Amino acid sequence: MADHDTVVTRFAPSPTGFLHIGGARTALFNWLYARGRGGKFQLRIEDTDRARSTPEATQAILDGLEWLGLDHDGPVISQFARHERHAEVAQEMLAAGHAYKCFATQEEIQAFRDAAKAEGRSTLFLSPWRDAAEADHPAGQPYVVRLKAPRDGETVIEDAVQGRVTVKNAQLDDMVLLRSDGTPTYMLAVVVDDHDMGVTHAIRGDDHLNNAARQAQIYHAMGWAEPVWAHIPLIHGPDGKKLSKRHGALGVMEYAQMGYPPAAMRNYLARLGWSHGDDELFTDAQATDWFDLSGIGKSPARLDMKKLENVAGWHIARMADDEIVSEVERFLALTQHEPLSQSQKDGLSDAMFCLKERAKSLPDLIEKAEFVLASRPIQPDEKAAKALDPVSRGILRELTAQLQNVSWTRETLETTLNAAADAHEVKFGKLAGPLRAALAGRSVTPSVFDMMLVIGRDETIARLTDAASRPE
């Protein structure tokens, strides 16, 4: 393994039409590792499968990374666009005797495997062309280019997460590097791309661990330095099974549409499979400072929506007010809702002190902000409307008169409203229901006093008047 001055990591997804939550976590780990060491984080799209690799599928990955706030260095690299370079390396290996032309047909390979199976031998294909002289090659016949892999000994992967992984070379076949049509295989393309991009740390899902030994053999054949390997466990559902659609959202943009802020998503994803002591909640700066491969566990992480909610609540409470307003605007655009007017943005900003402490997501915050986003006449929902009975409406009528001339401070408002409750021999809680219905049209809202202070005297009195005069 080489000694590297500048850390270079990469995220290399296949374009599947969305950025998978597991892929997002892999991208985040690579981004944190590079950013924490003054290194480079690069993006490569593994788009050699031309049927699936549409511009829209690639854009979906770029959108997911952009939303998550993971910026990359340099241009996006297309693996498909580099196929000539991949083939060139295969030709170099041929010339150096580290690869060979194999003329075996699919039928011959199948016959070999059938015979081996019948005799109880390994079915790994041993090509009769491995040591054939050029003079014996059939002219004009199609061939693949195979790696001349070592037949004895073992290939060792020193993995920063999994520890030492040893594979006996007898268990690996001479894998195909170039197909008979001259196109490179994925295994070759990955190694050539990583080498040419200067990748020093290959941080990826442990579903690639089986590929590492084969890819290491290409590095050895070319005399290239291997990267530091770090194979991270996959994410499982709450039931401990591999994450699938039945567990809920798989794409990172689905979480964006649920209204979790990107900062919260970065914090939550970082903790899926990585830890720093007992720290659960942290900023980007802390994550960048703390993140190290030694903190990644070997066991699969489990998705936990309750934990994500708690993380989101912590981040929302700590975000600057204008940042939350921007996130709300982005969320509304993403979910194709009407944009906020300037007065709604101003109102939301003014109300933030009584909204952000308890919100667990952006929709939660928007629901709590209904009192400042809605315009008159306020339409109470079914539950809130029940609180506006004739007695309550009578008390609201009295209150509108009392509130005309009091000083508009929290202390005075508390005194006035508590006095009204006492005069009617009810607890303040009994009065709070009708007030919430009148001011917000909801039964769950911020404090009545906070709402009155935010919307001001004139709007408060107008809403109370509307509610008091509602028809039966």
Q: How would CATH label the architecture of 1-77+233-303?
A: 3-Layer(aba) Sandwich (3.40)
Write out pLDDT tens, residues 305-314.
999 999 999 9
**Cα separation of 300 and 273, whole Å?**
7
Pairing label, strands 144-147, 8-11: unpaired
3-class SS at 72?
coil
**Cα separation of 77 and 150, whole Å?**
32
Binding positions for ATP? 245
Tokens found for residue 306: 């309750």
- Number of Cβ within 10 Å of residue 48's Cβ equals 21
The rounded percent of the chain whose pLDDT value lies above 90 is 90
Q: Which of 471, 469, 464 is nearest to 440 (CA)?
A: 464
Q: What mean pLDDT is predicted for residues 59-63?
A: 95
Residue 70 — very low, low, confident or very high, per pLDDT cuts 50/70/90?
A: very high
Residue count of the chain: 472
Which string of DSSP letters, residue by residue, matches 28-46?
HHHHHHHHTTT-EEEEEE-
Note whether 373 and 366 are within 8 A (CB). yes
Write out pLDDT tens, residues 289-305.
999 999 999 999 999 99
Write out pLDDT tens, residues 364-423.
999 999 999 999 999 999 999 999 999 999 999 999 999 998 999 999 999 999 999 899
Residue 3 — very low, low, confident or very high, per pLDDT cuts 50/70/90?
A: very low
The CATH fold assigned to 382-468 is Arc Repressor Mutant, subunit A (1.10.10)
- Provide Rg for the chain, Cα atoms: 32
**Cα separation of 432 and 441, whole Å?**
12
**Cα separation of 24 and 13, whole Å?**
10
Same CATH topology for 82-232 and 382-468: the answer is: no
The partner residues of 178 in beta bridges, in order of sequence, read: 145, 184
**Cα separation of 192 and 432, whole Å?**
68
Residue 337 has pLDDT above 90, yes or no: yes
Q: What mean pLDDT is predicted for residues 16-36?
A: 95
**Cα separation of 388 and 399, whole Å?**
14
**Cα separation of 224 and 346, whole Å?**
59
**Cα separation of 329 and 347, whole Å?**
14
The CATH fold assigned to 82-232 is Rossmann fold (3.40.50)
Q: What mean pLDDT is predicted for residues 138-153?
A: 96
Q: Is the peptide bond before 238 cis (omega within 30 degrees of 0)?
A: no
When comparing pLDDT for 27 and 238, which is higher? 27
Residue 174 has pLDDT above 80, yes or no: yes
**Cα separation of 360 and 317, whole Å?**
9
pLDDT at 52: 77
Q: What mean pLDDT is predicted for residues 197-208?
A: 97
pLDDT at 472: 62
**Cα separation of 326 and 383, whole Å?**
31
> Average pLDDT of the chain?
94
pTM: 0.93
Burial (Cβ within 10 Å: 0-12, 13-18, ≥19) of residue 254: middle
**How is the chain split into domains, by residue range?**
1-77+233-303, 82-232, 319-373, 382-468
Q: Which of the residues 40, 241, 242, 245 is marked catalytic? A: 245
Q: What mean pLDDT is predicted for residues 191-218?
A: 97
pLDDT at 242: 84
Note whether 77 and 43 are within 8 A (CB). yes
Q: Measured in whole angstroms, how far is the alpha carbon of residue 197 from the centre of its chain?
A: 24
Between helices 342-351 and 448-468, what is the axis angle to 10°?
130
**Cα separation of 349 and 356, whole Å?**
10
Residue 50 has pLDDT above 90, yes or no: no
pLDDT at 4: 52
The rounded percent of the chain whose pLDDT value lies above 70 is 99
pLDDT at 1: 42
Tell me, yes or no, if 245 is annotated catalytic. yes
> Which stretches within 184-304 are classed as H helix?
186-196, 209-222, 252-258, 262-271, 284-290
pLDDT at 250: 84
Note whether 215 and 157 are within 8 A (CB). no
Residue 51 has pLDDT above 80, yes or no: no
Write out pLDDT tens, residues 80-110.
999 999 999 999 999 999 999 999 999 999 9
Token look-up 């689905």 returns: 254
- Number of Cβ within 10 Å of residue 50's Cβ equals 8
